[in-house]
Structure 1
Amino acid sequence: MFRAARRRRLLLALALFLLAPLVGEFLLGNQPITELSGLVMLAPLYGGGALLVRETARRTGRGWPTMIVLAVAYALIEEGPVDQMLWNPHYGGFDMGAAYASTHIPLLGTSVEMIEDVVSMHTIWSICVPIALVEAFARDPRRPWLGRVGLPFVGVLFAAASVLLGVAQAQSEHFVASPHQFAVAGTTIAGLIVVGFLLRGCPAPGSDADAPSPWTVGAAAFAVTSLYWLRDQLPEGLSTWWPVAAWLVVVGGAVALCVRWSRSRGWGAPHRLALAGGALLTYVWVGFTHAKEMGVSIPVALTGNVVFGTAAVLLLLAAAVRHTPRATPPEHHKAHALHRHHH
């Protein structure tokens, strides 16, 4: 029994290791299906990061507040010191400097809008959504999956992947950020990690109100995350600071609402899965909008969208089935009634 439980935990860890890059890159449409071999490099970074965030929180008795804050730190690590997208004005051959110039803050060494994009995508989809989906298949989601050897191994793997990718990016992009930019990012990342450890577990129920149905929670998550991606449809000529401010308002409102819901009576695993599921379905439709940007033929790109989108929906359905209350068999009701009658 012990070996079976250990094997199950390792399978869950492996699932998260692979799911994080599949959601963060392939479902989004950043990578075509023909580049699946890229998981060799992406999994240690994305999957290793997701595992470190999850295992650190669970091993120290903390919960989702800590995981969310650590996920923000991961976002800044990946797009800061690792691939330097936060600072490179010509990252990936695109004129990033011009695209984000209107909200650039010299003191930060980067753009506020860029930070919002990086934090949104990696915190929600690269880290939190995969963790929530895989934990939906765990018997006890609060229990760590990696042991004394597994966790350090993942840490070394993540660090090695980060260094290798960072060096490769610096060489291919011919760009290295300034010491000031690295210092600001490093200080911010360290501060986030400290805050993450200062937070305790999820708040205990503190409201007499009933939690909304998981369907309502999922619909809200889908609407809010879709709204984020629809910001590109705003009319031209609008000041860039308006969507930046709107992002702060929407994120603040969403966090406040989730805190309120999580303290409501009846809040539980189905609701957490619904939050992740709503966000996951947003990436399903967003992936199709990136078909023209994948560097492959449209039929190949769309084939990948269909494959990854279908797999995401099936995974979500499988997780939902596990959390669907099962009707109590009539025989059980009868036996329970007889037991009460005799006592």
Structure 2
Amino acid sequence: MQTESVAANTSLQAPAPTRYRGAIWTLLILAPVISEVLSGSTRLSILFVLIPEVMVWGGGALLCRELVRRWRAGTTSLLLLGLALSVAEEFIIQQTSIAPLPFPSANVDFGRYAGVNWIYLLFMLGFESVWVVLIPVQVTELIFPNRRQQPWLRKRGLIATCIAFFVGCRIAWYGWTQQARPRLHAAPYHPPAVLIFLGLAAMAALIGTAWLVRGYGHSGQIESRQPASPWILGIKAFVFAAAWFELIGLVFVPHPGLAAWIPLTAGSIWALLAFAIMRFWSAAHGWRDIHRFALSFGAVLGCMAMSDISAAGWTRVDLIGKFVFQFLGLVGFLLLGRKVWQREAVDRVPSR
């Protein structure tokens, strides 16, 4: 018995490189595909940007998950690390939340104060932490359920992932700030040092908080509570996700007709409400993979539905590519849902 325990602990600390390769590459690819391709942010005509996106979003999501598993932390810590990754993107890497928005149809002044695009930043904090980190990690662990609790990277893999991540950050910074912004006829922008410092400080605070609350946010801990039906959870996730995309829509309304503090306050409350409701149900003792799948699927459907509304003006090639990608994504989720359902049906069969 003691030998088995030592062997299990050794496996946890130093996983074989081939054992987790499939899970690692799945997460690396799913992070940008779910967040960028299925949302329509990365179109068929610029699909080459998936390479740095895999390095930044995929590598970032993998590093966030790795820290959470090594800390034996819960979803709350993963969310906080996802927020830290989002701050890095918005303040350090591409600086999209501090530079004046370069999009031709954007209302540049709406919600911009003290050098920060606050409404855009709020939306991105939610989008990048959930659709880049939480959902891809959840989906990957549903595909590889037996490897959910273990770290996937050894020392060499961790170093390689960090190097790829930072190289991807450099590519993403150059591609956006030095190439894409000038093509959008945006004026050169040099971020104030104080904003860079505040971004770094926020990242450090979020990472430190993620470590401090590592014992909080584990699912299935409250035996007296039962989770809602997977159907209800999926519908709630769809509603919360679809409503969240209304926030970014306000940035592109010429005359919103309301003060910026109203959507900022409403969006913050909406995000806290979503977190509280999902945390309440996931803490229930009966929380299972089918509930995890329903949340992820509902949120991705909400994202895809709202991006379809904003696809006006796209080229025919990009529109065709968008719907092909979304169809493939839908098929993939349905196949995963079938697999999860069959797996749970087998687990529920009483042993003789």
Q: Same fold (TM over 0.5)?
A: yes
Structure 1 residue 322: deviation in Å? 2.5
- Once residues 126 and 261 of structure 2 are traced to their aligned partners in structure 1, the CA distance between those partners, rounded to angstroms, is 17
Is 1:136 the counterpart of 2:142 in the alignment? yes
- Once residues 110 and 346 of structure 2 are traced to their aligned partners in structure 1, the CA distance between those partners, rounded to angstroms, is 58
- Give the match for residue 84 of structure 1: 95
CA-to-partner distance for each residue in 1:65-124, whole Å, 9 max, x for gaps?
A: 1111000000110121111111111435665632433xx2x2xx4133122111011011
- Give the match for residue 261 of structure 1: 281
Q: Is the 8 A contact 2:55 2:165 kept in 1?
A: yes
Structure 1 residue 148: deviation in Å? 1.8
In terms of mean alpha carbon deviation, does 314-323 or 276-285 score higher? Answer: 314-323
In terms of mean alpha carbon deviation, does 70-79 or 225-234 score higher? Answer: 225-234
Q: Is the 8 A contact 2:97 2:118 kept in 1?
A: no
How many matched pairs?
323
- Quick check: which has more Rg, 1 or 2? 1
Q: Is the 8 A contact 2:141 2:148 kept in 1?
A: yes
Structure 1 residue 46: deviation in Å? 1.0
Q: With structure 1 as the length reference, what TM-score do the two structures score?
A: 0.86
Pick closer, same or farther for the CA change 1:218–1:328 going to 2, 3 Å.
Answer: closer
- Give the match for residue 150 of structure 1: 157
Letter in 2 for 1:97: V
Is 1:180 the counterpart of 2:194 in the alignment? yes
Q: What pairs up with 1:228-239 in 2 under 5 angstroms?
A: 228-231=244-247, 232=249, 236-239=256-259
- Give the match for residue 312 of structure 2: 292
- Once residues 197 and 89 of structure 1 are traced to their aligned partners in structure 2, the CA distance between those partners, rounded to angstroms, is 34
- Give the match for residue 71 of structure 2: 60
- Once residues 90 and 32 of structure 1 are traced to their aligned partners in structure 2, the CA distance between those partners, rounded to angstroms, is 20
In terms of mean alpha carbon deviation, does 179-188 or 264-273 score higher? Answer: 264-273
Q: Is the 8 A contact 2:77 2:211 kept in 1?
A: yes
Q: Is the 8 A contact 1:291 1:301 kept in 2?
A: no
The percent of aligned pairs where both chains have the same amino acid is 24
Letter in 2 for 1:143: Q
Pick closer, same or farther for the CA change 1:89–1:254 going to 2, 3 Å.
Answer: same
Q: Unpaired segments of 5 or more residues in structure 1?
A: 337-343
- Give the match for residue 312 of structure 1: 329
Q: Is the 8 A contact 1:53 1:71 kept in 2?
A: yes
- Give the match for residue 341 of structure 1: none
- Once residues 173 and 50 of structure 2 are traced to their aligned partners in structure 1, the CA distance between those partners, rounded to angstroms, is 16
Pick closer, same or farther for the CA change 1:6–1:287 going to 2, 3 Å.
Answer: same
Root-mean-square deviation (CA, aligned residues, Å) is 2.6
Q: Is the 8 A contact 1:10 1:146 kept in 2?
A: no
- Once residues 34 and 178 of structure 1 are traced to their aligned partners in structure 2, the CA distance between those partners, rounded to angstroms, is 33
